[in-house]
Structure 1
Amino acid sequence: MLQPPHQSLQVAAVAPQRGPAREQEGPWHAEAVCRRDEAGLFFAPSKEPTAARLSREEAAKRVCGRCPVMVECREHALLQPEPYGVWGGLTAAERRVVLARRRRRDMEMKKAARASQIAAAG
């Protein structure tokens, strides 16, 4: 089974948010609210019924909603990418949607850049 967020965050090798204030405070995961909450809230047990999963995920998202490092956590989960659990207020399925949108946006930006290069050259 995967480590719950609060345990895996203790050993996560992630760069802290840039800026002098964050560097003085230490890595982002040191401030994560989930470090103090029940691990089972963030990861699904095997064969969890749908209603129970949705309820658990909503409870985990409420914890994330009051976390001062939610954005850093979310970006960590998107960059890794973390395949399981609730990270930064997003489930694994929600993170897949965000990543797909980012890929689509990046492709559209590249196409637009190429089109403007061709127009400028022509």
Structure 2
Amino acid sequence: MSRLPGRAEHHWLWQGEAACRELGSRLFFHPTGEERAEREARNAAAKDVCALCPVQRACLRHALEVGEPFGVWGGLTAHERRELRRAGGMRRAVPSTV
């Protein structure tokens, strides 16, 4: 009898449908030394992509569940996700049906 957990691609298949899939990471993760105004503009542009994404909720759920410490995921910055977790809002923000 195998003790391996079995197939798990259902945990990441949503990524194939992501609007950001072909965009690279520069828009979603800040470079070293980025100024505040540049960061705000980059985050706003990343959030614009997320707003049109068909898997935005799955992306946000993933980032919250794994505690992703960097970047814009599911339309929220790392700081916004920390605030959401701190407020206990994970279940309200991303229903379990996603």
Distance in 1 between residues matched to 2:81 and 2:52, nearest whole Å: 19
Percent of paired sites with the same residue: 48
**Which residue of 2 is the match for residue 15 of structure 1?**
11
1:47 counterpart = 2:33: yes
Q: In terms of mean alpha carbon deviation, does 37-46 or 60-69 score higher? A: 37-46
Secondary structure of 1:53's counterpart equals helix
Deviation at 1:38, TM superposition (A): 3.6
Higher relative contact order (Cα pairs below 8 Å, separated by 6+ residues):
2
Question: Computing the radius of gyration over CA atoms, which structure comes out larger, 1 or 2?
Answer: 1
Which runs of no fewer than 5 residues in structure 2 stay unpaired? Answer: 1-8, 92-98
**Which residue of 2 is the match for residue 67 of structure 1?**
53
Which runs of no fewer than 5 residues in structure 1 stay unpaired? Answer: 1-12, 17-26, 106-122
TM-score normalised per structure 1: 0.63
Distance in 2 between residues matched to 1:14 and 1:82, nearest whole Å: 19
| Richer in helix (by share) | 1
Distance in 2 between residues matched to 1:101 and 1:79, nearest whole Å: 15
Runs of 4 or more off by more than 4 Å in structure 1? Answer: none
Query: How do 1:22-41 residues align onto structure 2 when only pairs under 5 Å count?
Result: 27-41=13-27
Contact 1:14–1:76 (CA under 8 A) maintained in structure 2: no
Deviation at 1:32, TM superposition (A): 0.5
Tell me the C-alpha RMSD between the 2 structures: 1.8
TM-score normalised per structure 2: 0.77
